[in-house]
Structure 1
Amino acid sequence: MIRENHDVVIVGGGVVGCALAHGMLGRGKRALVLDGGDCDPRASKANFGLVGAYGKGYGAPRYQQLSRESVALWSAFAAALHDETGIDVEYENDGCLRFCLSGADFEEEAEFLASWNAQSPKIDPCSRMIDRSALERLLPGTRLGREVVGAGIGVADGHCNPLKLLRALQQAIELRGGTLAGNHTVSKIEPCPDGSFRVHVQTSTGPRCFETGQLIIAAGLGSTALGAMVALDVPLRPLRGQLLVTERLEPILRLPASGIRQTRDGTVMIGVSHEEVGMDLGTTTFTAARMTKRALRILPDLAMARLVRHWACLRIITPDEHPVYAQSSTYPGAWIALCHSGITLAAVHAGPVADALARNVLPENFEFFHHRRFDVSQVI
């Protein structure tokens, strides 16, 4: 069996794992990223590409603050990736919308937004409501459906190309001297008496073993089984999201919105559903019809567009839908990092979180994100 030694081994080659690796490599760590097979249920396959804090962390101010911190870092993060790799991740932050299709919807959204903003009273509100006339001024050339009465807007929010983001992070990892090993499925994590870890993997050419003093599990839905090997028991459930994409169109929507956005190349993405169906990655005409019906109520000009693809992915959801960052109390040096907002949080993962993990700690005020909050015995 071939053995290699690295300062840190990150299990999971999605946006979360690659952002952490990118940041830790920039702080002098020799990092290895182990990624599974192409058929694994990757959340990155159907990410909508929104970069925003709007609505995140309702009832959890610390998560709201973390999202806003990452949004504030995103412009510099995207520019640095472009300088380093030459890859434009197509980041724009002119705002992100939540369309309201009735007066009742508008009032409900306004009430939600007021409560959400009130969670951080010392921070300037970053989201507000706008009526239809203001929305039309904001979107010149867009023909809105007659039912659109207004929208909520996250004024600092935006979107990017999530596939280009992942590609840029992977290229930057290699440029910084890191290693990204695909089709390396972790079969066992073995804590050693000296405090190090042996990570056993299966590859097409046989078994391999990697030794490390620090281990970070960021393997999405696979993190439940892997975390249990180092006493990091985090309850997770899959949540299916279906997505549709149209042919390329002339610009019809300047700003992205929840459930509908036009990409830089002209395609329009429609989605995303929230379905409790276990590990089922299938698609359904019922959900596609529901999503397209709503999209047409917002942008009637979509009626003439051809749909070219329909697919689904599985999101990573914790019981309270908030991220988890924690170190094993039984096996120090083993960490877990999980969230379903990997695109929005990529900037903070590559920045302050990676900086702290390079010192084998977490940033200050991260206690809220520990998985012990799910321990019923402690709550009681």
Structure 2
Amino acid sequence: MEAEFAIIGGGIVGLSLAYGLLKRGKSVCIWDEGDSAFRASRGNFGLVWVQSKGLHQPAYAQWTRASARAYRSFADEIETVSGLPLNLQQDGGYIIHMSEDSLDADRKLYDGLRNRLGGDYPFEVMGHNALKTEEPNIGPKVAGALYCREDGHVNPLRLLRGLTIAVRQLGGTVRTGHRVTDIQPQSAGFTITDQNNTTMVAEKVVLAAGLGAMTLGPQLGFTAPIRPQQGQIIITEKLPKLMNRPNVEVRQVDEGGIQIGASSAEVGLNDREDVATVAGLAAHAVDMFPKLAHARMLRSWAALRIMSPDGLPIYQRSVQHPGAFFVTCHSGITLAAAHAGVLGDWLTDSAEQPDLTAFGEDRFDV
């Protein structure tokens, strides 16, 4: 075998898995399509986020929290190996609400999840005045926020670069510009072929190709029930300190600019931004933080999330082809620590591996 593991997909998910496997002494080769791919890892919001995750599936809430708790040591490792600061901050975060009704509706959902978790789910409800004490620059239209002390954010592009460096430092191979077109199960292992008919044989294969799994998944016996969901983002010029903590729609990045996002649209494989959505995002951000009315927009873009039918990750072993795994999620940043950590126990059939039954493809069987 040329490698014990071939990982298809060189984004945050694939690199995190590779890093965890390399730490376990496995040989790993990553096949990465390159910049022609729909790269969620280059277009995301950079949140390490707990609140609102798993409101209807407690197992996802627990999985997310476990990754968030492991994030500091994970980030420290990547910084040490790569030499890049990731600017991780985990000082809490908000979901800001513009009406009392929506704030109360979400509070009830959070209370329900807390009850299902035996009281172990951290959040606070902050009215306008309490939030303004923490965030003096919020506007008068803000009703309040839900606050979770375990939330945070990271520089996602540095995380991507840092993971790439770390994987190579640990002996992993990253083949960039190699779009996998065919994966053939053999009597022992798998033969992987790219668009240039370059091939290799690996003992095991992990499909972490984002939206590319829609075509590659069936070759390995996966249904791969995923779809693209478009989100758009705005970046402003660098500004003086405007906010102390991130929220899911507006955050101040480590370089000083303001990142605005959280749109969603079902438009298929379309990653082109539109003026109407950008204008709506900007207007909403100004309602939250009026000082943004005078900020200059430097750039904007659209990117595609990878969404399962219920929005949760999918972790699946192939029944037809043992040794093949399917890993996908739309929270690759938040879950990077779990993917580099305990998910490696699942991929290597360790005696102690996480319970992933809630995240199998069979949950979609009707």
- Asked if Structure 1 and Structure 2 have the same fold, meaning a TM-score greater than 0.5 normalized by the shorter chain, the answer is yes
List per-residue Cα deviations over 1:165-199 (Å, max 9, x = no partner).
011110000000000110001111011123x1000
Counterpart AA for 1:218: A
Structure 1 counterpart of 2:208, one-letter code: A
Superposition pairs of residues 141-156 of structure 1, within 5 angstroms:
142-156=136-150
Q: Secondary structure at the match of 2:238?
A: coil
Compute the displacement of 1:42 (Å). 1.1
**Contact 2:179 2:194 (8 Å CA) reproduced:** yes
Matched residue, 2:323: 333
1:311 aligns with 2:301: yes
- The residue identity in structure 2 corresponding to 1:288 is V
Kept after mapping to 2: 8 A contact 1:333/1:360: no
C-alpha distance after superposition, 1:216-260 (max 9, x if no partner): 000001112111101111211110001111011111011000110
CA distance in 1, matches of 2:293, 2:266: 29
Match of 1:197 among 179, 190, 193: 190
The yes-or-no answer on 1:182 pairing with 2:179 is no
Please say if 1:136 is aligned against 2:132.
yes
Partner of 2:234: 244
The aligned amino acid for 1:290 is: G
Once residues 255 and 84 of structure 1 are traced to their aligned partners in structure 2, the CA distance between those partners, rounded to angstroms, is 28
- State the AA in 1 paired with 2:341: G
TM-score by length of 1: 0.94
Question: Where does residue 276 of structure 2 map in the other structure?
Answer: 286
Kept in 2: contact 1:36–1:182 (CA 8 A): yes
Moved more, 39-48 or 175-184: 39-48
Whether the 8 Å CA contact 1:325–1:335 is kept in 2: the answer is yes
Contact 1:131 1:149 in 2 (8 A): yes
Range that drifts further, 282-291 or 21-30: 282-291
Corresponding residue number in structure 2 for 1:231: 221
Q: What SS is found at the alignment partner of 1:24?
A: helix
* 1:364 Cα deviation after fit: 3.4
Matches of 2:222 and 2:5, distance apart in 1? 17
Q: Is the 8 A contact 2:55 2:110 kept in 1?
A: no
Q: How does 1:239-278 map to 2 (within 5 A)?
A: 239-278=229-268
Q: Which residue of structure 1 lines up, in the alignment, with residue 74 of structure 2? A: 77
Q: Which runs of 5+ in 1 are unaligned?
A: none
AA in 2 matched with 1:155:
R
Tell me the distance in 2 between the aligned counterparts of 1:118 and 1:201. Answer: 49
Q: Structure 2 CA distance, aligned partners of 1:79 and 1:37? A: 27
* Corresponding position: 1:11 with 2:5: no
The aligned counterpart of 1:89 is 86
* 2:122 is equivalent to residue 126 of structure 1: yes
User: Partner amino acid for 1:228?
Assistant: P
Query: What is the CA distance between 1:106 and its match in structure 2?
Result: 2.1
Q: In the aligned structure 2, how far is the partner of 1:273 from the partner of 1:363? A: 36
- 1:29, 1:358 within 8 Å by CA — same for their partners in 2? no
Distance 1:7 1:360, change over 3 A: farther
Tell me how far 1:359 sits from its aligned partner.
3.2
**Contact 1:113–1:128 under 8 Å retained in 2:** no
Give the TM-score normalised by the residue count of structure 2: 0.97
Q: Give 1:112 shift.
A: 2.2
2:194 partner letter: V
Note the residue ranges of structure 2 that are not aligned, 5 or more in a row.
none
**Which residue of 1 is the match for residue 207 of structure 2?**
217
Aligned CA-pair RMSD: 1.4
Aligned residue runs from structure 1 range 155-170, under 5 A: 155-170=149-164
Q: Assess, with a 3 A threshold, how the Cα gap between structure 1 residues 373 and 362 changes in structure 2: closer, same or farther.
A: farther
Tell me the equivalent position of 1:28: 25
CA distance in 1, matches of 2:87, 2:113: 28
By how many angstroms is 1:128 displaced? 1.7
Compute the displacement of 1:59 (Å): 1.0
**1:9 CA displacement:** 0.2
Paired residue secondary structure (1:207):
coil
- Do the aligned partners of 1:27 and 1:355 also contact (CA within 8 Å) in 2? no
Q: Aligned residues, how many?
A: 366
Does the 8 A contact of 1:241 with 1:315 survive in 2?
A: yes
Match of 1:208 in 2: 198
Give secondary structure in 2 for the equivalent of 1:247: strand
1:133 deviates by 2.2
What code does the residue aligned with 1:132 have? H
Structure 2 contact 205–324 (Cα < 8 Å) conserved: yes
